[in-house]
């Protein structure tokens, strides 16, 4: 049974035909809408593309309200045979902030050789893992990117794994072991996915998840980001959640604020300095800061809805976070670990002191390899809940 969907115009003129919204969607979450070969470039010699089979996909998932939507993504599988125990694992790889413009979608940036997380993905491919990489809702496909909506992002990650398992020729199937990985926005998406999996995708054989610098509590971010170098992250979240909840931001913004949101509506991560050091009070109707706005309704309830940590993951989780994170405060990662531990989850909190948010991404990626390898080998996971 196919599901009809509303036609929606893309925000980007000349959107590639592959990303156009279909008239109907397939019956089940994770079912493929379409696929095509994709060039996966990370080096001038194209060696990365020789070593893997790369496929651009569009698949069915659901948004925050449970409405079926089409989302794009990528499936990347090493060409060399899997040499580990059992079947080849597939990693539901949740990317960090890419931006909000359709051109920022990872499945498009792979072919241009400019995906900044490509080096970490290549390291996973070198270990023989397949990757299922979602573009998230509205990033590449029609409609706004629902940045930081935990349900939308978690669903997209889990359904990307399902789509990879159903992709003909991938060598993957429903029995393939699954790992989840993400940092920053991706950490939030992967964390949401691992706690949603028991009810949303119980059939997936998830062996473990690595989540880094998780924005588990969005209420702490406005004060931390506003007026700083990474202020645009805050605006991405405001516009993404407004789109998810069908909230019109215009009444809260002055003319300069509305013009500013239009200017950043197709920004990618490398455009972040367009909002650097700009304080939100310059853009609101009454001079309120975004921190003040988020303490009032409907923003307060929307941010409360995004809290990660209120459901128990049944797979082991490694949480990494730096004490010196300048973007997502360490206390959010520690609180997430505490919340899951109180529910009886198996959690290891790995604290580091690597300077800044970007620097700590290296710690997260490095620790991921050993953690996932042990999970796929069937080694019991360490639990640090006793220390919290």
Question: Residue 147 corresponds to which tokens in the numbers above?
Answer: 């940045």
Residues 6+ apart with CB under 8 A from 369: 123, 124, 127
100 burial (CB, 10 Å; 0-12 / 13-18 / 19+) is buried
pLDDT attached to residue 43? 52
pLDDT attached to residue 277? 85
pLDDT attached to residue 9? 39
Domain ranges of the chain: 3-217+310-387, 218-304
Residues 6+ apart with CB under 8 A from 21: 5, 7, 8, 70, 141, 142
Residue 188 has pLDDT above 50, yes or no: yes
Tell me whether domains 3-217+310-387 and 218-304 share a fold: no
Q: What is the CATH topology of the domain spanning 218-304? A: 434 Repressor (Amino-terminal Domain) (1.10.260)
pLDDT attached to residue 7? 37
What DSSP string runs through 192-210?
A: HHHHHHHHH-TTSEEEEEE
CB 163 within 8 A of CB 254: no
What's the pLDDT tens digit per position in 239-263? 999 999 999 999 999 999 999 999 9
CATH superfamily of 3-217+310-387: Alpha/Beta hydrolase fold, catalytic domain (3.40.50.1820)
pLDDT band at 343 (very low <50, low <70, confident <90, very high): very high
Q: Which residue has the higher pLDDT, 263 or 71?
A: 71
What pTM did the predictor assign? 0.94
Whole-angstrom distance, CA of residue 118 vs CA of residue 181: 14
Residue 206 has pLDDT above 80, yes or no: yes
Rounded to 10 degrees, the C-alpha dihedral 299/303/305/309 comes to -170
CB 104 within 8 A of CB 272: no
**Which H or E run contains 309?**
none
Per the DSSP assignment, residues forming a β-bridge with 147 are none
The residue behind tokens 């698949």 is: 59
CB 325 within 8 A of CB 356: yes
- Segment 364-377 shows an average pLDDT of 93
pLDDT attached to residue 115? 76
- Segment 84-102 shows an average pLDDT of 94
Name which of 150, 160, 159 is nearest 192 in CA terms.
Answer: 150
**Which H or E run contains 353?**
none
From 93-107, 200-214, 299-313, the region with the lowest mean pLDDT: 93-107
Radius of gyration of the chain (CA): 20
52 burial (CB, 10 Å; 0-12 / 13-18 / 19+) is buried
The residue behind tokens 């990879």 is: 164
pLDDT band at 40 (very low <50, low <70, confident <90, very high): confident
Rounded to 10 degrees, the C-alpha dihedral 183/184/186/188 comes to 110
Question: Residue 247 corresponds to which tokens in the numbers above?
Answer: 């909230």
| Angle, CA of 111, 116 and 118, to the nearest 5° | 65
**Which H or E run contains 202?**
none
Question: Residue 191 corresponds to which tokens in the numbers above?
Answer: 């964390």
Please provide the average confidence, as pLDDT, over all residues in the chain.
Answer: 91
CB 32 within 8 A of CB 58: yes
Please count the other Cβ atoms lying within 10 Å of the Cβ belonging to residue 39: 13
pLDDT band at 49 (very low <50, low <70, confident <90, very high): low
């Amino acid at each position: 049974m196919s599901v009809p969907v509303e036609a929606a115009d893309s925000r980007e003129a000349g959107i590639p035909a592959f990303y156009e919204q279909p008239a109907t969607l397939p019956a089940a979450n994770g079912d493929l809408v379409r696929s095509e070969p994709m060039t996966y470039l990370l080096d001038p010699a194209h060696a990365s593309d020789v070593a893997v089979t790369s496929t651009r996909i569009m698949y069915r998932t659901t948004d925050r309200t449970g409405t079926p939507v089409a989302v794009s993504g990528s499936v990347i599988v090493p060409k060399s045979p899997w040499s580990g125990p059992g079947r080849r694992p597939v990693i539901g790889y949740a990317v960090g902030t890419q931006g909000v413009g359709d051109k920022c979608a990872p499945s498009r940036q792979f072919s241009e050789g400019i995906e900044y997380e490509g080096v970490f993905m290549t390291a996973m491919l070198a270990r023989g893992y397949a990757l299922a990489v979602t573009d998230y809702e509205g990033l590449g496909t029609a409609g706004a990117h629902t940045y930081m909506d935990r349900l939308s992002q978690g669903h997209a990650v889990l359904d990307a794994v399902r789509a990879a398992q159903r992709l003909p020729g991938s060598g993957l199937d429903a029995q393939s072991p699954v790992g989840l990985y993400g940092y920053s926005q991706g950490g939030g998406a992967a964390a949401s996915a691992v706690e949603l999996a028991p009810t949303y995708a119980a059939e997936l054989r998830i062996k473990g998840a690595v989540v880094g610098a998780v924005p588990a509590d969005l209420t702490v971010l406005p004060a931390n980001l506003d007026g700083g170098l990474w202020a645009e992250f805050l605006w991405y979240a405001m516009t993404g959640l407004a789109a998810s909840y069908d909230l019109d931001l215009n009444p809260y913004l002055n003319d300069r604020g509305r013009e500013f949101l239009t200017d950043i509506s197709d920004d990618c991560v490398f455009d972040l300095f367009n909002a650097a050091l700009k304080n939100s009070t310059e853009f609101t109707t009454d001079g309120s800061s975004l921190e003040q706005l988020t303490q009032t309704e409907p923003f307060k309830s929307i941010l409360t809805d995004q809290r990660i940590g209120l459901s128990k993951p049944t797979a082991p989780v490694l949480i990494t976070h730096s004490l010196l994170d300048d973007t997502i405060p360490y206390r959010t990662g520690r609180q997430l670990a505490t919340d899951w531990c109180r529910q009886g989850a198996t959690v290891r909190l790995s604290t580091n002191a690597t300077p800044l948010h970007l620097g700590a991404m290296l710690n997260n990626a490095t620790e991921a390899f050993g953690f996932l390898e042990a999970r796929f080998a069937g080694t019991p996971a360490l639990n640090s809940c006793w220390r919290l």
